[in-house]
Structure 1
């Protein structure tokens, strides 16, 4: 048996790799003034924290009391917890898991590709990595890594993203009631998402409060006061992200995004990493000139039939910097960028190109 276990754990991923616990982070795009936000590109809502001091003590205590009450006692694997879970499950009680916080962290990060494997081999690999992790990191470091990676529903990964999404506060400023609601969500992130199932989320919040009371981390008065708060009144949902993550000047911003996706290697952005690499991108767009371009195109449309449109691009000839771009009337209705021919329309430059050909000819000494 030991030989089999050695074979199963012979190719475990390294916990010392700098990539082992990298978190996907959103990339932000700004105009040329470096302050006008154009877009936020992300696959998931994440905002990892650097220290446990940035998290409410209610979250820290509630997570341990709910997910792994012996977290500060075991060495990565909770053998008494496994025995209890087996007895409860065999006795026909409510199904219980026995994964520690450390095991859950391993499963969500370095073994994420094996997370859906329910084999005994995967559990052994997970347990071995959990034990190894406890030798490399302190308990507080492991708890913070867990809180930065766990799924809190609605596309939120990590306690800070969840706090901002559901309550519009930092993780440090969560009340007891709010903290308990978030602590309860990871058990079933889809079902317990308060946006989708408010009643179930509140019931789970109350279970978390019960466990915190049993563990002695809150008083009876705190427990009763928090349970008396209707979750519906506690919630302060953040606005939904804009379409495609674009906040302003959609035709230009989508054009710049597509350039990065198609030619990322020219900007040291690896394939597909725009949405998780945490890049800060400064474009050449001049917001003042862009507003003038928008106004000019709007005035031109007012002089034309409704079925016609106008576009404009302002470029610095010596550098090629795009200072303004209007690609059409309404990006929400049509995402075709008639300024660039984007969207598969294949717009031709037409007679406009004659000016450039004539200029080049004259500069070359050709008689008009």
Structure 2
């Protein structure tokens, strides 16, 4: 009964979502089983099959979101919509915010013959909210662009149903246009929805088309935070900012190839919302498996030091939807105390 209700709600959302299409709309459900809940979905759309000089929309819609190409005679764009969104968490560079639930980005759809459309989610059951993010992938550049990330309060419902759709006049069928669709569960494994590919999609780490401009923006924002006394991490090292909160008398150094036992606290700059921390017990990590900012920041510090790191998004989680409390392109602050290390064998 629960899954039937999800299906009905998905259909209702889909019928609402397609209102406003003036051209004839073709749509087809993707075969997602009723008991499967996906944290993300990706599909490949072949724009090389579109005849020039016409207009229409084509993309993917889920029970909570819609990501599509809006193609006209003079310009084209990609649009990400989350109708039930409570908050726009972040948007990509040079995007246009239509409302709190819609963001678009203008680009020349004819530059490449196909694109990947990717919708990712991250939910927080304790605080009862979910984040939806939309991306586009440029195969020839091997780069991704984030369009936007939205938060829906009062729901943790991820992807339970999805449709591909097209209103662009063409003789190509939906099966011709959408050639490679995969879904990912919370636990990580990819599920083939509709694909002839033998290999699972490889999406992470997402290579950002705007990485240079985003790095410049992050530097500007960190400098403003320093000037306004929002942070005391004013020393600079290989792309990040830091300050020593406690200096150890021990001589042993930390190396980025070590496995480190630590206390830590992490939050987004400019907020007091802690997204992760240790309490009374330490945690142990191989530094080689952690974000680049940790490796740079802890390398050549002393065991027993406590350091505050201000990490630009490019040395953190970048444009990934890594956590419901870490929006894409977040500048992160970590306070880390190294208790012990073990060298790599």
TM-score normalised to structure 1 length = 0.23
Using CA pairs under 8 Å that are at least 6 residues apart, name the structure with larger relative contact order, 1 or 2: 1
Q: Which of structures 1 and 2 has the bigger CA Rg? A: 1
Give 1 or 2: higher strand fraction: 2
Q: Which has the higher helix share?
A: 1
